[in-house]
Amino acid sequence: MKMWASTAIGGPDTLALYDAAPPVPAPGEVLVAIEACGINFPDSLIIEDRYQFKPARPFAPGGEIAGIVRDVGEGVTALSIGDRVIARTGWGGLAGFVAVPVSICAVMPPDMPFEEGAAFLFTYATAYHALVQRARIAQGERVLVLGGAGGTGVATIELAKAFGATVCAAVSSDEKADFARACGADETIVYPPGPLDSDAARALGTQFKAFGGSDGIDIVFDPVGGDYAEPALRAMAWKGRYLVVGFTAGIPRLPFNLPLLKGCEIVGVFNGGLNANEPAVAEANIRALIALYGEGKLRPRVSHIYAFADGPRAIEAIAARGALGKLVVRVGEPARD
């Protein structure tokens, strides 16, 4: 099989097309012939050794896949050869095959295209865990989504609306604002490029407070961080929940007097930790998400599909933070020749 391999620390330009033997599934694993691979911001971090996990090289980036089971390891009864599955793998997706534990696979709905399947788990599972387990979202609450035009931001908009919330998407351009509204956001705010000086930060905080109204914002979903975090925290409601999801603009330094005065929570969101520590909850979340997909309430917004030969370009695009919705690489036969 062919794989886009990280053989040294660096950006997408360091990835090399590599020939490797397909893996053999261990007991409890299945071998999946990958049809499509979703690209997410951690894919740009993991090849630079800036992510929580540092797999041994050479490895293929690509943390979520959709494909067909081609072999099963000893003891596997939940899946069979020929099943169409999705899985959040962490890495290994930009390759012809991957061997993964059966416990992290889910059977795809019959009407789900592979491209949508590869764009489903990473964003929706993170957003669902954030809103349900960490924020305890309730109908009628006001939710601010930073990075509202990215894959995880769009998933959060869709889920928050499904739960009956009012949603404001904060984004970095008018084009992204239009996209976020098309995905269901009730309001949008266009923030300036960082870093923000004190005047710009105060102005942004005023916009956030206008969305929150007299009571403030109940939930902030923040995969961005940087200078955008403090203005959002200052706009929170009493007993609000600030969800720490990621740091595409850098890790912020927040004044801890703010959560004290507002009685609000600053809550970490790490869906990988949920999978490791509460697998039954994670599996229930996936079942709930697939049910919502079947009801037509969720639909992955795949804005661009790359050929396998252009896999590194997809990671370049996600690293530049210019993507609308999700980016997917069509893997299929070229990687299995």
pLDDT tens-digit readout, 226-283: 999 999 999 999 999 999 999 989 999 999 999 999 999 999 999 989 988 999 999 9
**CATH code where residue 20 lies:** 3.90.180.10
pTM: 0.89
* Same domain flag for 241 and 319: no
Looking at residue 53, its pLDDT comes to 87
Whether residue 285 lies inside any domain: the answer is no
* Same domain flag for 112 and 169: no
Phi-psi sector, 184: left (phi>0), alpha (psi -120 to 50), beta:
left
Residues 152, 124: Cα–Cα separation, whole Å: 7
Whether residue 284 lies inside any domain: the answer is no
Domain extent at residue 171: 123-272
Q: Which residues, including other chains, have CB under 8 Å from residue 188's CB and lie 6 or more apart?
A: 148, 168, 169, 170, 171, 177, 180, 181
Q: How many domains does the chain have?
A: 2
Looking at residue 324, its pLDDT comes to 87
Of the residues 272, 287, 315, the one at which a domain ends: 272
Average pLDDT over residues 188-211: 96
* Same domain flag for 18 and 105: yes
Q: Is the pLDDT of residue 321 over 80?
A: no
* Same domain flag for 95 and 151: no
Which of 50-59, 165-174, 180-189 shows the lowest mean pLDDT across its residues? 50-59
* Same domain flag for 307 and 168: no
Whether residue 205 lies inside any domain: the answer is yes
* Same domain flag for 95 and 127: no
Give the three-state DSSP class for 54. coil
Of the residues 255, 272, 289, the one at which a domain ends: 272
* Same domain flag for 150 and 230: yes
Whether residue 197 lies inside any domain: the answer is yes
**CATH code where residue 255 lies:** 3.40.50.720
Task: Write down the mean pLDDT value for the chain.
Answer: 95
